[in-house]
Amino acid sequence: MREVNFYAYETYCMVRIEERPDGPEVLSACRDIAMRVEQTLNMYDDESELSAMCRNYCPGVPYGVSEMLFYFLNINLNMAELCEGAFDPTVGALVRKWGIGSGKNVIPTEAELAALMKRTGYQHIRLLPEQCTAVIDIGGIIIDPGASGKGFAIDLIVDYLKEKKVRSACLDFGGNLYVMGSNIEENETHGVEKPGNGAWNIGIRHPDDPGKIMAQVYAKDQAVSTSSWYEHHFKRAGHIYSHLIDPSNGKTVESGLSSVTVLCDRAIYADIISTALYVLGEEKGKDVIGKLYKRTGIQTDYLACKYKR
């Protein structure tokens, strides 16, 4: 198999496909798609389209966006509504204030959180498809693509690979995975079909010891996304603060779960739902999965690890 590796979304990314004559060209195009998405959505790059929109929009005035940004916003807002706000892309100001993962590690005061909460809420954004515009009715909103951007990019690449009739592929964007077709490399190496009719065997890290494998899942033509406290966090006075923010109060999440892994047909849904389930907890999270299936027909499976620290 052939692969391309590159750095994007503040992590290392890999796309691997079957051996084929046009492999280098296909992989180069995959990287170009990924970089184009980052250039559009990176909230830490002042030159990105997303940053420019959040900096330049006027409350209540339609703001023109590209088709890519409109498509991204539309999915995010629909999923925020479906998740009843447990996933909310407008938490960017809160994410920046906490600074978890950037080395700042600030615990905001209650007054600071109250002020920042006035700058959040997906319901403050509406889209006008006829004009390809977004209308934001309050000032200071910052959209954070952290819980959906990598999944969005993966889906665009998978769609491209399917157009090119690629039979087998594996994408890994900082632990956000998509496996396509059969694991040809494994089947050819061992001379037998893998369990699950050529499915890919994926190890899930243990949240309390990321050096160990907690479980294994078999996936085929599915995305696999995990949300957990260990990805980015800091400890203070014996308390662990994770990078995942609860949109209902602006604080770091404490839901009774320490890890959620989601398997789904589309990577952006896996990305978003793993975050929503981590915020909601297992019981309420099941309702979100049921709503997604009823609305889209998309099947979602999950593996939840209870909080044990």
Question: Which residues, in sequence order, are bridge partners of residue 1?
Answer: none
pLDDT over threshold 80, residue 257: no
pLDDT of residue 151: 97
pLDDT band at residue 255 using 50, 70 and 90 as cut-offs = low
Judged against a pLDDT cut of 90, whether residue 291 lies above it is answered with no
Q: What is the pLDDT of residue 252?
A: 84
The predicted pLDDT at position 238 comes to: 65
Structure tokens at 274: 């793993």
Residue 190's pLDDT is 36
The helix, strand and coil proportions of the chain, stated in percent and rounded to the nearest 5, come to 40, 30, 35
Structure confidence at residue 305 (pLDDT):
64
Q: Are 50 and 42 in contact, with CB atoms under 8 Å apart?
A: yes
- Report domain extents, the chain: 47-136
Q: What is the pTM of this model?
A: 0.90
Encode pLDDT of 139-193 as tens digits.
Answer: 999 999 999 999 999 999 999 999 999 999 999 998 899 999 988 655 443 333 3
Is residue 7 scored above 90 in pLDDT? yes
Where do we find the tokens 């109250």?
Answer: 114
The hierarchical CATH code for the domain 47-136 is 1.10.3980.10
Report whether pLDDT(217) > 60. Answer: yes
> In this predicted structure, what is the pLDDT of residue 279?
87
The two three-digit tokens of residue 171, written as one number: 């994408």
Burial status of residue 294 (CB atoms within 10 A of its CB: 0-12, 13-18, 19 or more): exposed
Q: Which residues contact 290 (CB under 8 A, 6 or more apart)?
A: none
- 62-66, 111-115, 182-186, 280-284: which range is least confident on average? 182-186
Binding-site residues for Mg(2+):
147, 271, 275
Annotated binding site: 147, 271, 275
Is it the case that residue 119 has pLDDT exceeding 90?
A: yes
The tokens describing 22, both together, are 């046009």
pLDDT digits (tens, 9 = 90+) for 79-114: 999 998 999 999 999 998 877 666 777 788 999 999
pLDDT at 280: 86
Q: Which of 14-23, 47-56, 241-250, 259-268 is the least confident region?
A: 241-250
- At residue 117 the predicted structure's pLDDT band, cuts being 50, 70 and 90, is very high
Place of tokens 């190496």: 189
Average pLDDT taken over every residue of the chain: 87
